[in-house]
Every structure is written in C-alpha cells, then in structure tokens.
Chain A
Amino acid sequence: MTAATMDHTGHGHDGHSHGGHGHDSHVHDGHGHYPGVPSYSHIMPLWILFAVFASLIALTALTVALSGVALGTAEIFVSMGIATIKALLVAVYFMHMRHDKPLNVLICTFSLVFVALFIGLLVFDSMEYYPNIAARTYVEMLDKAK
C-alpha cells in the first residue's frame, strides 16, 4: 500500500514512532510491530502461540490425570478451574483479547455476567422449589419401594 493509503486509514503516526526499526523486518519487541502492518493488526509472536499451545496440552493432560483421583466435592471446582484457565489462555492469546479494544473485552465479560445471572437465578429457583414437587417425591417413593 502506498503512503497515501496509510494516511487515509489514519495511521500516519506509525511511520514516525516506529520509523527507527521499521526497516529491519525481523526485529520485534513483543508488541508485534512489523513493517507494512497497520496498527490495528497485532501480530502474536510465534513463541507465545506455541507456549500457549503447550500449556493447553499440559492442562488437558492434568485434568485427565486428576479425573482418576478421588477428589470428592472439590472435583468439580478443580476441573472447572482448569477448564477456565484453558479458556482464558485461548481467549487472551489465540483470540488476541490481550491486544483487543477494551470494548470488545467488556462485551465478552458482560455476556458472561448475563450467563451467570441466567444460570444462577434459575438453578437457585429449581433447588428452592424442588422439595415442593409432589411428583418427584412420588418417583423417589416408587424407587425406594423397588
């Protein structure tokens, strides 16, 4: 693309602030500045991608291994905790959330709040009215009689 185009996209400043190392195409400082790459495009360094992948595999192995261990009531928290770490790794690095606009991150967090609200209130109510349901007790009764 030409200089004119770059100015048009509103990123003329890139040419100034990073002009210094803009020429040696293989230097990067972890923030992913590459020549010819506009500022809205954040390049993930390869080593991060591979490190994240290795951690994901390791965590998968860990959760499978732990499933053979009797952890009692802690089990669900442990396995969900590991899953959440994995999910965060995918979101933050693979999905570039780390370099994304705060708005997009906010939107995602927001949606999770609504999911929590939905599931939370609903489960709460189900547990509350469960003992009132005669049909259920009836099923249990039949079951005991077997």
Chain B
Amino acid sequence: MATIVENPSLTGGSPGAEPVVDNYLTFTRGWKSWAFTLDHKRIGVMYLFATLGAFFVGGVMALLLRSELFFPGQQFLSPDMYNHMFTLHGAVMTFLFIIPGIPAAQGNFVLPIMLGAKDVAFPRMNLGSFYLWIFGAIYLVAAIIFGGLDTGWTFYTPYSTTTNTSVILATTGVFILGFSSIFTGLNFIVTIHTMRPPGMTWFRMPLFLWATYATAIIQVLATPVLGITLLLLIAERAVGIGIFQPELGGDPVLFQHFFWFYSHPAVYIMILPAMGVISELISTFSRKHIFGYRFIAYSSIAIALLGFLVWGHHMFTSGQSAVSATMFSFLTFSVSIPSAIKVFNWLATMYKGSISFATPMVYALSFIFLFSIGGLTGLFLGALSVDIHLHDTYFVVAHFHYVMMGGTLIAFLGGLTYWWPKMTGRMYDEFSSQMAAIGVFIGFNLTFFPQFVMGARGMPRRYADYLPEYEFYHQLSTIGAFVLGVALVAAVGILVKSLWTGPKAPANPWGSATLEWQCSSPPPHDNFATTPEVGDPYAVESVKWSDSEHGYVKNPSYVPSKDH
C-alpha cells in the first residue's frame, strides 16, 4: 500500500502531467491515513492486498502438496505434515481468501460507487471488519506455529476433539473471521437499502449489487451458526461438554449438521459475488444489454435462499437418515436451476454481441466453461447412489475446485483486471495479460481434470500416498499446478508492473454504463463531484469510444428507451 501512496507517477505528479487531481489515493498521505481510513475504497484496497497475500500463502502450500504427490510413497512431507498442510491450505483458502475475496476486496471498492453513494452505511464497522480479518489471520498463523492443525478445514468431531494440534487457536481465528464476514454483509445490506440516491431503483442496480446483496443475506443468516458451532467445539475441547461426544451422550453427526448448515450456504457466499462480476463483464465485453436482467437478479436471491435447504448433501454417508438424505438430494437438484438460469442468460447476452476478448472477458469465458463443469459434476455428487461411490474421493476435490477456483478465483481475476484501471488509474499490458489468463485456464484444467478421472476410479482424498495405478493422473495434476502457479504469478505481476509503466487509465476504458465508470480513474475521495445521473446500467449504447480520451465518453445521440 505504501508503495502506491508514495509513488509519484501514480499521483499525477509525473513531469509534464496535468495538475494534480484529487483522488482517493492522494487525498491524504502517510501510513496512518491508511490504517485509520474510513474510506471504503482504501479499505477495499487493503482487503485486496491482504486476501491476495493469503492466496499466495495458500497457493504455496498447494504446490508443496502437489509436489509431494508427484511420485507414490513419501518424498519430503511426512504423512503427518501432509495432513497439516492440506488442512491449512483449505482453511486459508476458504476463510482468508475465497469468502472475503470478492465481496470484501472488490465489493468494498465498487459497491458504493456503483450505487452512487458516498460510502457504505457504516464506515467504522467496515474498517473493523478488516481488522477482524487481520486478527483472524493472526490466530490462524499462531495455530500453525503452536502445533499446527490436522483436522481438515471442516473440523469434524470426534477427531477435532481428540487431536493434539491447536484446534482452539484455529477455531478462534475462524470465529473471528466469521464476524468479519458478518460485518461486511450487514454493511452491504444496509447500504443497498438506505443509501441509494434518487433514481437508483432496485431494478436499476447493476447485477453485481444484486449478487452482493444476496451474498450478504447468507453472510448474515448463516455465519452466526458457524460461530456457535465453533464455540461449542472450543468448549468441547476445553471442558468436554459432551454435546458432540458419543461417550458423554453427545452426537458427532450433530456437529456435521451444524457445520454444513453454515458451510453449504457459504459456498454460495463464495460463488454469488463471482456470478455478479461475470454478469458485468459479459454485458460490457459483448457490447450488449444484459439478457434477462430480472431473471439474473431474482436467481441470485433464489440461490441464496434455496442454498439453505441442501446442507445434508455433504452428509449422505455420515449416518444421516434415509428420509433426510432423499429429501436433501432432491433439493440439491432444485438449487441448480437458478444457477443454470444465469448461465443461459449470459450465453444469450453474448449471442450476436460484438465480443471483445479483453482480459476480463477471457476470464469471464473461462468462468462459464469451468463453472458449468463444476456445477454439473455437483449434480453427480447430489445423486445418492453415485455419491456413495464418489464421496471423499478426488472427484469431490475436483468438483469443488472447479466451482471455487474455476468459478470464484477466475471471476476474482476477471473483476480485478476489469476494475484495476479504476482502482489504480493505470492500464496494464493487454496482450501479456490475455496470455496469462489463457495460461491460467490451461493450467487449471490440467490440474483438476485428471482429478475427476482418478476420483471416479477410487482415489480417496486427503491421503499422502497412493497406489501406482494413479501415478499418471497425479503427475498430470502436479504439472498442471505448476503451470497454473506460474500463470497466476504472471497475471498478478503484469498488473503490478502497470503501476510503474502503465499508461494513464481513462474514466471509462471498457465502455460500461454502470456508475463507477462515470467518475474519474482513480475516483475522487467523495466518489462523485456531482450526484451522478442514474440510468439503465446496461445501456452500453449510452457511451461511445473517443480517440482523444482513449476511452469511452457519453454518447450525445443516446436517448434512453422507456422499457428499461
């Protein structure tokens, strides 16, 4: 962060540049102006750095895991270390990166601007949420230092109550991170309800806002249940209250119910904002109005609500009753309907559009492809008899990486490359970042597609070793992981490089019609000098390319149509 503030080329102070314009980066200076900032944009940027840092740490762990698996037998990780490593990889990626990644980092930055508001409703709570994230992260790191953690990110009892690793530190960390997430969600709901300027009706909101709103509903309703579950787990370990311990009359399956009542909805906390980003990208880069706006908007809400009804599909083999398993299986199929609605509407938006393959769009297209695979394989897992075979195999690992990484991470990168010019005021090198995006796509598929195959053939998950018959798939997967790692470092490196060498970004480089592109890049401290004009967020005809500006400007001949 400090580099950004102190880099003169960024602040418009470079020789020969126009007079310094007020923007949020130069509004005030010094580290304190960041550490105590209440500006949603700065909080968003800090979240961005923090979550990317967590992603890097989790990624290094993943590469270590994959390297260990290159050959059967033990290479350099003892089976015990392997257990620690995959647990921390999962916990860091889930709680520190994927959950806050899009809403807290990118959402914080763009949500109020997209809405036409000056800030979120509770700026102090917003900063508090960021520091809770930091504290949660510190606890997780402390858990690594003081004994590690080998329960898997799911903390299943009774193992988590008997292992001698630092479960209490880790769960305290996750508990704190839960509150960080709740505060973000709560803030967004209130902001969207009470801070809309005149003219910004519900159906003029960009779909990204609908998506973050739906996400926020889940954050507020589901996360507290995770909180109490973890408190009970801590109490179980600390004093042995017996609620989850069979020998004291308790029931470990109860823990799984509690955990998944949060964690299934949580997978929608991860994917809904990603879908929101994709809706923005597809319309902008197809230069077409989004198709089926209301369907996409309502399907976000439907996903959020239906997502609460399917948690039992993680427990088909846990001892859950046959009746509930049948019911949960049925409901699982129904929740895929709203997801499919979105995919069809994106495809229809692209149909006959003039598609540009700018970097964000490359990510958006990867998303559609990868998310579809992830979602469809979810249906295999939701089918009772099939899941008995596939449960706890690499098939599940591949499934959730296709949705979480192929879905959320790819959309995160799409959003990052889309809003980067707005956040930093710099354009990055288009060709090299397109190449990086393609590298990510190839590396990703090479890593995870073989996992479907070996999973279906019976390779169990969370094992440090395997039979020789799986060697080929594991080696493909490991090679893919390194390709993916290199491509990701390149993708981020190209962005960072643009801070020094990139040309100045125009206000609207992509031709989007949502409000954040009406203010300068980077935005001023108060977002808008004058209250912005709210129109149809997907009227891409309302802007046209200007050679002198190197970006899009208002189209004077545009007349808003009545039907939007």
Direct contact of A and B (CB under 8 A): yes
Interface residues in chain A, defined as those with a beta carbon under 8 Å from any beta carbon in chain B: 103, 111, 114, 117-118, 121-122, 124-126, 128-129, 132-133, 135, 139
B247 to chain A, nearest CB (A): 9
* CB atoms of B221 and A128 under 8 A apart: no
B243 at the interface (CB under 8 A from A): no
* CB atoms of B261 and A125 under 8 A apart: no
CA distance A124 to B320 in the complex (A): 10
* CB atoms of B246 and A125 under 8 A apart: no
* CB atoms of B321 and A132 under 8 A apart: yes
**Inside 8 A of B257's CB, which chain A residues have their CB?**
122, 125
* CB atoms of A118 and B246 under 8 A apart: no
* CB atoms of A111 and B221 under 8 A apart: yes
With contacts A122-B257, A126-B251, A126-B254 known, is A114 near B321, CB below 8 A? no
The answer, among A111, A117, A129, for a CB contact under 8 Å with B320, is A129
A–B pairs, 17, beta carbons within 8 Å: A103-B193, A111-B221, A114-B221, A114-B308, A117-B308, A117-B309, A118-B225, A121-B312, A122-B261, A125-B323, A125-B324, A126-B253, A128-B322, A128-B324, A129-B319, A129-B320, A139-B249
Mask, B49-60, CB within 8 Å of A = 1, is 000000000000
**Inside 8 A of B246's CB, which chain A residues have their CB?**
135
**Inside 8 A of B312's CB, which chain A residues have their CB?**
121, 125
Residues in B400-441 with C-beta less than 8 Å from chain A: none
A130 to chain B, nearest CB (A): 9
B429 to chain A, nearest CB (A): 47
B217 to chain A, nearest CB (A): 9
CA distance A126 to B253 in the complex (A): 9
**Inside 8 A of B261's CB, which chain A residues have their CB?**
118, 122
* CB atoms of B324 and A132 under 8 A apart: no
* CB atoms of B319 and A132 under 8 A apart: yes
**Inside 8 A of A126's CB, which chain B residues have their CB?**
251, 253-254
CA distance A121 to B324 in the complex (A): 8
Interface of A is mostly: helix
**Inside 8 A of B323's CB, which chain A residues have their CB?**
125, 128
B421 to chain A, nearest CB (A): 37
Q: How many residues of B contact A (CB 8 A)?
A: 19
B319 closest partner in A (C-beta): A129
**Inside 8 A of A125's CB, which chain B residues have their CB?**
257, 312, 320-321, 323-324
With contacts A118-B225, A118-B261 known, is A128 near B321, CB below 8 A? yes
Residues in B225-263 with C-beta less than 8 Å from chain A: 225, 246, 249, 251, 253-254, 257, 261
CA distance A82 to B329 in the complex (A): 38
CA distance A103 to B202 in the complex (A): 15
**Inside 8 A of A128's CB, which chain B residues have their CB?**
321-324
* CB atoms of B324 and A124 under 8 A apart: yes
CA distance A66 to B13 in the complex (A): 79
Mask, B274-318, CB within 8 Å of A = 1, is 000000000000000000000000000000000011001000000
CA distance A114 to B217 in the complex (A): 12
CA distance A128 to B321 in the complex (A): 6
**Inside 8 A of B253's CB, which chain A residues have their CB?**
126, 129
* CB atoms of B193 and A129 under 8 A apart: no
**Inside 8 A of B309's CB, which chain A residues have their CB?**
117
CA distance A135 to B248 in the complex (A): 11
B321 closest partner in A (C-beta): A128
With contacts A118-B225, A125-B312 known, is A133 near B193, CB below 8 A? no
CA distance A103 to B309 in the complex (A): 23
CA distance A139 to B246 in the complex (A): 10
CA distance A17 to B257 in the complex (A): 55
CA distance A128 to B312 in the complex (A): 14
CA distance A103 to B193 in the complex (A): 10
**Inside 8 A of B249's CB, which chain A residues have their CB?**
139
9 closest A-B pairs (Cβ-Cβ)? A128-B321, A129-B321, A125-B324, A122-B257, A114-B221, A125-B321, A135-B246, A128-B323, A118-B261
B251 closest partner in A (C-beta): A126
**Inside 8 A of B324's CB, which chain A residues have their CB?**
121, 124-125, 128
**Inside 8 A of A139's CB, which chain B residues have their CB?**
249
CA distance A65 to B505 in the complex (A): 75
Given A121-B312, A139-B249; 19 other pairs, CB 8 A cutoff:
A111-B221, A114-B308, A117-B308, A118-B261, A122-B257, A122-B261, A124-B324, A125-B312, A125-B320, A125-B321, A125-B323, A125-B324, A126-B253, A126-B254, A128-B321, A129-B319, A129-B321, A132-B319, A135-B246
CA distance A132 to B319 in the complex (A): 8
A103 to chain B, nearest CB (A): 7
**Inside 8 A of B308's CB, which chain A residues have their CB?**
114, 117
